[in-house]
Amino acid sequence: MKLQPSLVPACAVALAALLASARSVWQARAPWPLKPPAALSDGRPEKLARASELSCAPCHAAQVEEWAATTHALAWENEPYQEELVGRKKAESCHGCHAPVALHGALDALLAGKPQARADARHFGVSCESCHLATDGALLGPTGAATDEHATRKGTSFDAQGSNALCASCHRTTVGPVIGLARDFEQSAGAAAGATCVGCHMAPRAEVPVEGVGVEGRTRTVRSHSLQTPRDPAFLALGFELTLAHEPAGPTLRVRNLAGHRVPGLIGREIEFVATASDAALEELGRETLTLTTESYLRVDETLELALPARTARVRVLGRHHDPRMDKPVTFLERELGP
Ligand code: HEC
Ligand code: HEC
Ligand code: HEC
Ligand code: HEC
Ligand code: HEC
């Protein structure tokens, strides 16, 4: 097996060409063809049982239902988290991201510094109020739609670009098993071309009319609070572009990272591509494997190459995902490449 990162472009022209092509791939795929995520099969609780106790539940049932089945809702109750806390000194320093206070101060500015742990209702994990509540009691959202039920305000953390900073408040730090993915994202071609965490991780749920004068006929996208996760095979498959290239040195399988950050994005996970090569007469020539782990990961925007046997005309690629949080490895991709 030969595994080599694609050559680092030596001059600015090549770099510009690479960025432009990354941008065009990105634009061709934006918005991401997201669907509601498949149910998880990892034996954990499917959703936070106590979600219906949220004060928001009677009025925002759709958001509560979607959120309740995410690891944001389960960030406190999750077994992996509770197990890590056993016998740990200074566990309080962990709680700031797993059961945080409201992250916005007055008006709509994000609080500076590390998120702080909240004193009560920790079982709601990364709660509605963590993301939406401002210190003056107003609920911040994408439009700030007025209502008699509570004060609302339009917040920059909920418009297309501002939302990245909200996500980064917890996803920028490398701590315990966590990789600060937002740092990768900030340097990515996708970010430069307008990609967002929300655009890839919260699927569109509905198009609704924009309210106001002078915007008649315009619509905006309401997004689902269900998070798209790599444990959903269809979502994970969106993260890679596979091509069979005929290089002077011989046939090559190229695996390009289309995610907004490195893959895999959490310690302990493994992603494996098994390529079975055959010649023009469909005679099998051999098998090559490319494995992505915490140590040998696919960097943001990177393309890795896998050399194939000389007479390769077709290749069948199987993608397998090993996540210690799941009972067994999952096949997330099956593809035939050839003439
Ligand atoms: C800066 C915010 C932050 C702090 C502080 C933090 N975490 Fe996390 N934690 C996260 C994020 C974000 C994830 C999700 C990572 C992912 O899924 O890629 C996570 C995930 C985890 C997971 C994985 C849970 C699972 O579903 O498998 C464990 C376990 C965990 N954290 C333990 C800890 C421990 C122990 C501490 C304290 C030493 C800690 N965390 C402190 C943000 C944080
Ligand atoms: C991790 C942060 C986060 C959490 C937790 C969260 N939200 Fe949101 N919410 C967002 C973001 C980001 C948007 C805007 C998404 C978009 O349309 O771009 C949003 C949008 C909304 C909207 C506006 C929907 C619309 O018209 O577009 C409502 C209402 C809402 N959230 C309620 C809730 C409730 C209720 C909960 C708890 C069950 C919750 N949110 C939990 C981040 C969060
Ligand atoms: C008694 C009903 C009621 C309760 C309880 C309630 N809301 Fe609302 N909320 C509304 C209505 C009505 C609107 C305006 C229309 C809409 O966006 O649904 C609204 C608007 C919002 C918005 C603004 C969305 C935008 O347009 O930007 C957010 C964010 C929000 N609510 C979050 C919450 C959260 C979080 C809770 C719980 C802490 C909560 N609400 C509790 C009824 C309620
Ligand atoms: C208050 C801290 C916090 C904020 C803000 C936050 N997250 Fe998270 N996120 C977490 C934690 C903690 C976990 C992991 C919980 C666990 O596994 O126990 C997580 C997990 C995730 C996961 C992995 C889901 C899975 O099941 O594998 C994704 C994707 C994610 N967050 C996206 C986002 C996006 C997008 C935003 C911005 C809209 C955001 N997060 C904002 C703390 C946060
Ligand atoms: C261009 C689309 C795209 C963008 C932008 C993007 N992601 Fe991802 N994300 C993915 C894909 C695809 C995966 C699955 C690949 C993997 O398993 O690492 C993923 C996986 C994740 C995971 C799960 C890691 C794990 O194993 O639990 C987290 C957490 C996450 N992203 C957070 C973020 C945050 C935070 C941002 C913004 C700073 C962001 N993502 C931006 C596409 C994207």
Q: Residue 189 carries which side chain, given as an amino acid letter?
A: A
Domain boundaries, the chain: 28-227, 234-337
Domain 234-337 class, CATH top level:
mainly beta
Instruction: Name which residue sits closest to atom 5 of ligand 3, judged by CA.
Output: 56
Q: How far is the CA of 141 from the centre of ligand 2 (A)?
A: 7
pLDDT of residue 1: 37
175 CB near ligand 1 (under 6 Å): yes
With CA atoms as reference, report the closest residue to 108 among 127, 132, 126, 129. Answer: 132
pTM of the model: 0.92
Question: DSSP assignment, residue 50?
Answer: G
DSSP 203-253: EEEEEEEPPSTT-TT-EEEEEEEEEP-TTSHHHHHTTEEEEEEEETTEEEE
Query: Before 264, cis peptide (omega within 30)?
Result: yes
Q: Residue 232 carries which side chain, given as an amino acid letter?
A: D
78 CB near ligand 2 (under 6 Å): no
pLDDT of residue 161: 85
How many CB atoms neighbour CB 201 within 10 A?
20
Report the chain (339 residues): mean pLDDT per 10 consecutive residues.
38 46 48 61 70 96 94 92 90 94 91 92 97 95 95 93 94 92 96 94 90 87 92 93 93 96 95 97 96 96 95 97 88 94
Q: C-alpha 163: how far from its chain's center?
A: 14
How many residues can be counted in the chain? 339
What phi-psi label fits residue 231: left (phi over 0), alpha (psi between -120 and 50 degrees) or beta? Answer: alpha
Instruction: Name which residue sits closest to atom 6 of ligand 5, judged by CA.
Output: 260
With CA atoms as reference, report the closest residue to 315 among 277, 274, 272. Answer: 277
The SS3 call for residue 74 is coil
Query: Before 58, cis peptide (omega within 30)?
Result: no
- Token pair, residue 339, equals 């003439």
The residue ranges of DSSP E strands in the chain, in sequence order, are 3-5, 139-141, 152-154, 202-209, 219-227, 240-247, 250-257, 270-278, 284-292, 303-307, 314-322, 330-337
Q: Say if CB 153 and CB 137 are below 8 A apart.
A: no
197 CB near ligand 4 (under 6 Å): yes
Q: How far is the CA of 146 from the centre of ligand 5 (A)?
A: 33
Q: How far is the CA of 72 from the centre of ligand 4 (A)?
A: 5
Q: Which residues line ligand 3 (CB under 6 A)?
A: 55-56, 58-60, 128-129, 132, 139, 141-145, 147, 149-150, 152
Residue written as token pair 């389960």 = 74
Q: Measured between alpha carbons, how far is 278 from 337 in angstroms, rounded to an integer?
A: 11
